[in-house]
Amino acid sequence: MAAHWTDSIEFQRQRLQRLLDGGKPAAERNRLGQFATPYELALEITRYVKSIAGNDLYTVRFADPAIGTGSFYSAALNVFGPERITSAIGVEIDPEVCAVARDLWMPTGIDIVQGDFTRVMEGDWRLPRPNLILANPPYVRHHHLNRGEKKRLQALIHHLTGVRVSGLAGLYVYFMLLATAWMEDGGHAAWLVPAEWMAVNYGAALKQYLVTQTTLIRVHRFDPADVQFNDALVSSVVLVFRKAPPHSGHCVEFTFGGMITAPRIGECIPIARLRSTRKWTVYPRCGEPVPEPADETEPPFDRLRGLQCAYRDGQASDGDEGVTLGDLFRIQRGIATGSNQFFIMPRDEAEIRRLPRRYLRPVLPAPRSLNTTIIDADADGYPLIEPQLCLIDCDLPERILRDRHPELWAYFQTAEASGIRNGYLLRKRTPWYRQERRDPAPFLCTYMGRGSDEKRPFRFIWNRSRAIGTNLYLLMYPKGNLARLLEERPDAAAEILTLLQRLTTRELCSEGRTYGGGLHKIEPRELARVSAAAFIERWPELRCAEPVEAMIERQELLL
């Protein structure tokens, strides 16, 4: 009877949630971080927590610091039953949403507080300490938090937890730390949050807290192509932990893809290793699927117990001093022109405008328009592709340019009417039309893309022309022994391209950043951290400090 009663309320909640979502512009909901948890997902998370908590949650004191319309509370009623929930509290900042939640759930005995959870935690009074927190905190990025608000939150977190949070952290990081400080020792929590903190520097403080002050049980990362929220392009992760320091031999279950109770792959990581791992998105490393249970009565998530990857035992590890791409290449972003549409034009158009050739440089088109992997050049160094593009690159002072090159000066005058002159980059340059300095890079990597193991998100290109790349590319300049090798053996360039193309999607994406909808990005320093083990296997001399030519000379003398 109780289940039927709560199911009826849940049906009404979903209807009201749709009305709330439709009545508020997407931009405003994005600014407030309002993305409601799908009920089926809330149910699955709650069932998992119940299965691993056992008798620790024989009686439940529930809390949700960002309750919304109550998706997680509804799931808790369904999974634990109203009779086991001895107290419940939710906090909601939006008055309209709070009113809906109160109308729906107050008859069940929950206390719903209208207000900012971070302010509530600052108050003189203290809320009852929960032993179960299920939450989907607001996905508010740091750009929407002013400096004063960040300082207030940072001071509050440091006072309650001793953690110093980066100013680049989103609001959900503060929510997790505050709520964990509030939670009863030994309590359990599950958080549905963006996965970005696992791979970036500003997530370091949260990672350290989780592996020292809590017993982290499960980290399940959803496939980025499977966005959990229809209106939020964000890759999500579920964290499940117990508020108690971990024992020395504890292992954390990392799973990826599929559902929490039926993940695609998984790996158990010792807590000691996790503490020294900079990017948690490298786990699970193995590409092996989670094995089927021998006993069909065994819960799917128990299959992960003891699961290990041979990869981490016999191959590269986080502490390995192996050679990376950054040891072999100087890697930097291509140029940011300030307005590609204005400064880049077809070569034949520049000739029709009679723009001086000395201030035109060959430039590559955007990756989506580049259909070749090897770029050859004509006699002038321009790529043998159509259309050939050029970049206007002039550093003459305006008064000299006006007298010497009236056609180019006349073209630059058109920038005023179009508003290009007021762009952020151009306002910082003198003269405003001067471009960044870049030499043509022999190898390039595309900066972003969508894809998976089957469709690679990043492309490597061998550039045999004099064209430079825009900031849609990462420019790769061989250095050190690799540069010397190319001087001695120019034909090795083809093998270098082959080795770059053999880098797997997993290797690249584990260092880069992944967003909802399957969008991947990789920055120069992230690409530089990718292993270059295949290069060393092909040319062991690259590992040596001794220059290649010196090695060749010494070997010839020995012969």
pTM of the complete model = 0.63
- Tally Cβ neighbours within 10 Å of residue 265: 20
| Residue 378 CB-half CA count within 13 A | 11
Please report the pLDDT score of residue 35 as a whole number: 75
Residue 238: helix, strand or coil by DSSP?
A: strand
Please report the pLDDT score of residue 124 as a whole number: 55
2-246 — its CATH code?
3.40.50.150
Please report the pLDDT score of residue 143 as a whole number: 80
Residue with the two structure tokens 């300095």: 437
Please report the pLDDT score of residue 505 as a whole number: 85
Helix then strand count (H, E) for the chain reads 23, 20
DSSP-H helix ranges across 136-278: 147-161, 171-182, 204-212, 271-275
Report how far residue 1's alpha carbon sits from residue 6's, in angstroms, rounded to the nearest whole number: 9
For residue 63, count CB atoms less than 10 angstroms from its CB and return exposed for 0-12, middle for 13-18, buried for 19 or more: buried
Structure tokens that stand for 269 in this block: 């990581």
CB 546, CB 484: distance < 8 Å: no
Q: How far is CA 497 from the centre of its chain?
A: 27
User: Residue-wise pLDDT tens for the chain (559 aa)?
Assistant: 345 567 889 999 999 998 988 876 665 555 555 678 999 999 999 999 999 999 999 999 999 999 999 999 999 999 999 999 999 999 999 999 999 999 999 999 999 999 999 999 887 556 789 999 999 999 888 888 899 999 999 999 999 999 999 999 999 999 999 999 999 999 999 999 988 899 888 899 999 999 999 999 999 998 876 554 444 445 789 999 999 999 989 999 999 988 898 898 999 999 999 998 888 988 887 544 443 333 333 344 343 433 333 333 333 333 334 789 999 999 999 999 999 999 999 999 999 999 999 999 999 999 999 999 999 999 999 999 999 999 999 999 999 999 999 999 999 999 988 888 888 899 889 999 999 999 999 999 999 888 765 678 899 999 999 999 999 999 999 999 999 999 999 999 999 999 999 998 888 887 887 766 678 899 999 999 899 999 999 999 898 644 444 444 444 433 3
Q: What is the dihedral of CA 225, 229, 232, 236, to 10 degrees?
A: -60
Domain locations along the chain:
2-246, 250-316, 327-554
Closest CA to 462 of 372, 327, 335, 365: 372
Q: Which residues contact 170 (CB under 8 A, 6 or more apart)?
A: 139, 140, 141, 142, 194, 196, 197
